[in-house]
Amino acid sequence: MAGVKATIAPSMLSSDFANLASEAERMLEFGADWLHMDIMDGHFVPNLTIGAPVIQSLRKHTNAYLDCHLMVTNPLDYIEPLAKAGASGFTFHVEVSQENWQELVQKIKAKGMKPGVALRPGTPIEQVFPLVEAEAPVELVLVMTVEPGFGGQKFMPEMMDKVRVLREKYPSLDIEVDGGLGPTTIDVAASAGANCIVAGSSVFGAPSPQDVISILRKSVEGAQCKS
């Protein structure tokens, strides 16, 4: 697995949204690489969170990589506003992009953002293969390890089969895991081959978030040394 960087991305869904800028600053001081921003439309998932205006507000306070996870039915509508707002990564769901993923990837790249694709726990991993193997490919695959919509859910270890398959096929791909990651679940994800780790409640709910970030990073780096 040499060549893929361990990337720790606290999910700001678990932060105090009323103090988003200071929460972001705190996470970066604690060693976070990216800030994971969960954008939900109340339609693709039964929850409503933030959109481009909040990304734009946060961008005024930080240069950090903003890793946007689009849990929305119409991701195309979000490309222009999010690019203008200062998003860094744009990860859409494969379940809503069967017809237009090529257009999505091309537009995301044209706007200078990193294109990624996410999949729900019930979606077979084979559905993302064409997107990774395309002439203009996605550069990250986000494997959901809970049902999208809410933080604080239980990690689904059976999703690690998807991560193993991806890592075997694509040694240099960024493979992100999202949902229920923390000190007790990281080792299984890291040894399966995940290198981008999203963690919300385990980081924000810890007495020492920096210790959790450091445990996550060490696990990923340790797994890479063994592979």
- Round to whole Å and give the CA distance between 38 and 51: 9
Looking up tokens 């689009």, which residue turns up?
A: 70
Binding mask 161-200 for Fe ion (x = CB under 5 A): -----------------x----------------------
* Among 6, 7, 8, 14, contact with ligand 5RP (rule: CB under 6 A): 14
**Total residues binding ligand 5RP (CB under 6 A):** 23
**Is residue 51 involved in binding ligand 5RP (CB under 6 A)?**
no
Catalytic residue among 41, 67, 178, 211: 178
116 known member of a binding site: no
**Is residue 167 involved in binding ligand 5RP (CB under 6 A)?**
no
Cβ neighbours for 123, distance < 8 A, ≥ 6 positions apart: 94, 95
- Comparing CA positions, the residue from 14, 20, 15 lying closest to residue 61 is 20
38 known member of a binding site: yes
57 known member of a binding site: no
Helix then strand then coil, in percent of the chain rounded to 5, is 45, 20, 35
Angle at 172 between CA 204 and CA 189, to 5 degrees: 40
187 is catalytic: no
174 is catalytic: no
Structure-block tokens of residue 6: 């361990």
Residue span binding Fe ion (CB under 5 A) among the ranges 43-51, 68-76, 89-97, 183-191: 68-76
Residues 4 and 220: beta-carbon distance below 8 Å: no
Q: Which residues are annotated as a binding site for a divalent metal cation?
A: 36, 38, 69, 178
Q: Which residues contribute to the site for ligand 5RP (CB under 6 A)?
A: 11, 13-14, 36, 38, 69, 71, 146, 148-153, 178-181, 198-202
